[in-house]
Structure 1
């Protein structure tokens, strides 16, 4: 047994008061050294704003002890770095996953031991409401118990700062350092739930925050206020994919008087198994199977799908043949951006800023340019968009829209994370607008392509599980850094950007280097000739490496050929690097 993980395993195995269900699960792993190593070879670490992992016993698993250790470190950090912590408190929300409610209560039990009040929602709520609640209640931080669209065996904890945005990299570093000061997860102080309630250190939140959020939601509409009260006959089918967004999305659409909204019955109720889908991810077309069946029955114009914690939105609309086409995140983002800018005052647009990530379609930049709106790129992850919005509060710049290719959108900054509720309402309003013009959203998208170019994007994702997989992912990135690419699929590399070193190399002159003015991240991007690009990025929360591609062709066919060629080249390259040893 390796001493690297064996000591941690022995510590858990011999702990007398180990929670009973975790003890049973640990006993089942006895003798399975590979499974034990994966459970104990490291501690869950902060990725994109928190921790996320497979449920079960172990330091590399999500359980009450990893939750307690993380919250203990956060409590210590907050007491050192923010003011009036105990009075302002922390707000906690949770989704439909296994152990979500239990983890929310465990969070309050740790904060309670420090005399910090915790506001906990009385039932599951979506992530954007948690972001809003931080700002509405004026708390020092927020915590969302969720694993987003990961498989059922996962759960996680996302931390939000007092602005309502995901914690920044600098904040994360300090929190991680604080967590490391807690050497023993089994000795974290906790206050029992009954004592929390007795001492009023836990406040159960009802509908007050929901109602305040909905008051803000109606204000994002671009319709004439006189039109709000008119019945809108657009046929809509919505699936919350067994998650949290059902109530707020349907109530939001009711506020705008959409009268033909149907919810997919089989997926309306929360279900930690997500039993009707292979994956509760609206990025994947299989998630729309039941919505498409229902849409065909009702002749729906638009289908909506939100992920379990309600921060990502997928949309499907009818094409010319009458079949439903699931829009990519880039396509929906481009449509929303054009609709918002075309319905915004020209005076507002002068100082407006559109935010997107470095792996999001360049079509967004082309659209923003056409309206005289400046585009700002951020690193991948909506926390960077939230951080930029916070900077605008002091610079006086106006946030007008933010999005990323992975189905995350934000229209108004009353929330500071991607918001599928806002996006769902705006998507339906947009569909209603184009319907009145005699166009589907597919036809509206074609107008954008004809005007700005046939932009097309793709993404390959490779999952390599366990310690061995993490090592392989590191080897892929190292291999490409050691052998810089000068050509990809017969396209010359014009710029090579390494976000880990913050260095951009201009290939027209190998001696010319520029500094990338963004935080450091393990990511490589290659800007190619003819409006093409490739980006490699290991996931911060999953054992994956993602390869993003973007092209702009002279026609849809030209774009498809270019994209296929680049994808094939990169897939072969990654395979060679995996099996090189």
Structure 2
């Protein structure tokens, strides 16, 4: 919206503005902050919307949530069947306003006569995905901002398959949202009337029990092993989020009973007061777990993000110190463990799915076991979409992962699942301990067998309107002035996922079409099994630069990776 003052005046003069939002609005004194809150509507992307809490059309609040639900319902009425009877599942995490936004979602659904199945306590995102499938619901809504800072929240939409909405679905929902001009006057039903008309159903333990049953069935332990106490010391931190109950129950039903929980991080806390960031990708998030691990002599440390769709793991290295594995490393270990314990008949038609910025080590491991690898764009929504296609093609899903700590072992959920991954990683650590090895040693074996694949990522944060313009300028320049050499490595291919073209460089340059959806991403494939990829984040005000290399030794790979990072930092800095 060009004229932010018009939107601001509408809010300022609205007589029935929610009191706390009215006070916040009155407290904003500088025009720059007001402009940022009102210069555009909060973007609804392929996963939903995520933003700062507060008043304004570019903020998360009850009015932007109501408008999003209104658009979602109008989309469902056109594109799905039996919407009222099947209903929508709603869940929420530990953030500020999460439960309130969940109830606002139910209120707008109720005004359309659509039943809301709302979890009676905060729950992990993957359990919301599972519940949509289990209940046969028409859609799901998860109120979460994942691992963003405390001042954020979000509204994440799932389709009837339990997967994140696809770009096509998001586009149609966005169009439906925009048809409602005034977010302040979206109709809704009061909670008392929802209950009276039986349009609000609180979900209790039934879903959890069904989920845990599925979780137990994907174990690679035989029946006798499942019933034995496991000699494995585990430290677990849910980082103030939603994972505590289900991870603990998942471990206990396989008799992993030697589990110590980081007590200071076990309780839900919207401030995430013990960490700088509630993100298991950030090594500082493991500080308390590492201290507890040193005291107990733990074999493995596991940490989940607030909505429990991402898992981080730390294990002892050769020096006896805890080392936090990267998402690529843990994914490679899980993939190898799963495939090495799978029947050959299953693998013949098996498919492993990863994203274009995930390590190529996964492809090497899958090849080793005769499993085909499928690449998708960044985002687990694309992995979920591929799994849905397998229902028609007859292909078998064996594992899916992305470098940003997201893993899915079994498709009874259709989004990355830290509960599945936490239990399976513990089982994997137990398997290797029985062989007299740590997970660190098992990873070294993978490198020795397949090559020293190393990856890295750097990101720059540009907030607000000016930040969005800077990110757009960087991507525009990269396309207009494509690189032909990076850190002394020749560019062999340039993949532009916005144009859908792959340019193959050489004496005779050629162009191929990329069979993936359109996205604002540019990837350079270099000589010596190296690559660089530039991608604006879809959920944060960041531009990310990913790197991947493969050398004959760790030293060689470390040097090459550092050179790529240095070169790209200089390129972006110049722009």
TM superposition score normalised by structure 1: 0.98
- Structure 2 distance, partners of 1:46, 1:545, is 18
Q: What residue number does 2:367 align with?
A: 369
- After superposition, residues 158-177 of structure 1 pair within 5 angstroms as 158-177=156-175
- Residue 282 of structure 1 aligns to a residue whose secondary structure is coil
Q: What residue in structure 1 maps to residue 102 of structure 2?
A: 104
2:14 maps to 15
Q: Identify unmatched segments of 5+ residues in structure 2.
A: none
Deviations 1:196-227 (A, max 9, x none): 01110000011110000000000111111221
The offset of 1:527, in angstroms, is: 0.3
Instruction: Give the 3-state SS of the residue equivalent to 1:562 in structure 2.
Output: helix
CA deviations 1:403-425 (Å, max 9, x no partner) are 00000000000000000000001
Separation of aligned partners in 2, 1:504 and 1:386: 25
Aligned-partner Cα distance in 2 for 1:321–1:487: 38
Match of 2:498 in 1: 500
8 Å contact from structure 1 (residues 82, 140) kept in 2: yes
Aligned length: 575
Contact 1:48 1:381 in 2 (8 A): no
2-side partners of 1:477 and 1:462: how far apart?
13
Q: Deviations over 1:111-159 (max 9, x none)?
A: 0000000000001000000000000000000000000000000000100
SS at match of 2:3: helix
Question: What SS class does the counterpart of residue 322 from structure 1 fall into?
Answer: coil
Give the Cα–Cα distance (whole angstroms) in 2 for the partners of residues 310 and 378 of structure 1. 22
Counterpart CA distance in 2 for 1:397 and 1:237 is 37
1:253 corresponds to which residue? 251
Equivalent in the alignment of 2:3: 4
Partner of 2:533: 535
Shift of 1:510: 5.2
Contact 1:360 1:405 in 2 (8 A): yes
1:404 matched to which residue of 2?
A: 402
Partner residue of 1:328?
A: 326
State whether structure 2 residue 235 is matched by structure 1 residue 244: no
Q: What secondary structure, in the 3-state scheme, does the structure 1 residue paired with 2:390 have? A: helix
> By how many angstroms is 1:556 displaced?
0.4
- Rounded to whole Å, the distance in 1 between the matches of 2:296 and 2:129 is 35
CA distance in 1, matches of 2:112, 2:222: 50
> In the TM superposition, what whole-angstrom CA distance separates every residue of 1:89-121 from its partner, at most 9, and x where no partner exists?
000000000000000000000000000000000
Q: CA RMSD in A?
A: 0.8
* CA distance, structure 2, for counterparts of residue 573 and residue 34 of structure 1: 30
1:445 is the counterpart of 2:481:
no
How far off is 1:485 after superposition?
Answer: 0.9
Contact conserved, 1:48 with 1:541, CA < 8 A, in 2?
no
Shift in Å, 1:49 = 0.9
The TM-score, its normalising length taken from structure 2, stands at 0.99
5+ long unaligned stretches in structure 1: none
> 2:279 maps to what in 1?
281
| Structure 1 contact 133–209 (Cα < 8 Å) conserved | yes
Residue 3 of structure 1: how far off its partner (Å): 5.9
**Correspondence for 2:119:** 121
How far off its partner does 1:48 sit? 3.7
